[in-house]
């Protein structure tokens, strides 16, 4: 008899940004999850990043920066794409170690400073 682990994905949004995904999604290991964040500003000046926090109270790890760049050491199952003012994080083949809270942050690429940090999506 196989034990199947499931992940509960939930999202919350704060501040001026918009997190555009269902509040709750059930994800089985090996499945693909997507979550999107976007800016109300349609100027196109925003860059997005996604940050993974596995343990509350500890610092997050950046998994995506500059819209779609993956830092060294981040598995290739993490990817992101931008369409208009929306950035979408995709985790292809979710694994148990991906359990974390994922935060989407945006900053104004024309001035180089952080604008708004969104609360994000929890896997776990």
Q: What residues of the chain score a pLDDT lower than 50?
A: 1-23, 115-117, 119
Query: How far is residue 52's CA from residue 60's CA, in Å, rounded to a whole number?
Result: 5
Q: Hey, where are the domains in the chain?
A: 7-93+102-123
The Cβ of residue 15 has, within 10 Å, a number of other Cβ atoms equal to: 10
Comparing C-alpha atoms, which of 93, 17, 105 is closest to residue 53? 105
The pLDDT, as a whole number, for residue 8 is 39
The pLDDT, as a whole number, for residue 29 is 86
Whether pTM > 0.75 for this model: the answer is no
Counts for the chain of helices (H) and strands (E), in that order: 0, 11
Query: How far is residue 9's CA from residue 99's CA, in Å, rounded to a whole number?
Result: 10
> Domain 7-93+102-123: what homologous superfamily?
Immunoglobulins (2.60.40.10)
The pLDDT, as a whole number, for residue 102 is 82
The pLDDT, as a whole number, for residue 70 is 96
């Amino acid at each position: 008899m196989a034990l199947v682990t499931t992940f509960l994905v939930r999202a919350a949004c704060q501040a001026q940004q918009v997190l555009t995904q269902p509040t709750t999604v059930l994800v089985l290991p090996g499945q693909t999850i997507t979550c999107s964040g976007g800016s109300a500003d349609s100027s196109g000046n925003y860059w997005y990043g996604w940050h993974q926090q596995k343990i509350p109270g500890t610092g997050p790890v950046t998994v995506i920066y500059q819209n779609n760049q993956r830092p060294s050491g981040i598995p290739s199952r993490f990817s992101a794409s931008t369409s208009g003012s929306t950035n979408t994080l995709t985790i292809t083949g979710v694994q148990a170690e991906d359990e974390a809270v994922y935060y989407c942050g945006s900053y104004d690429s024309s001035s180089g400073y952080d604008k708004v940090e969104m609360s994000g999506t929890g896997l776990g």
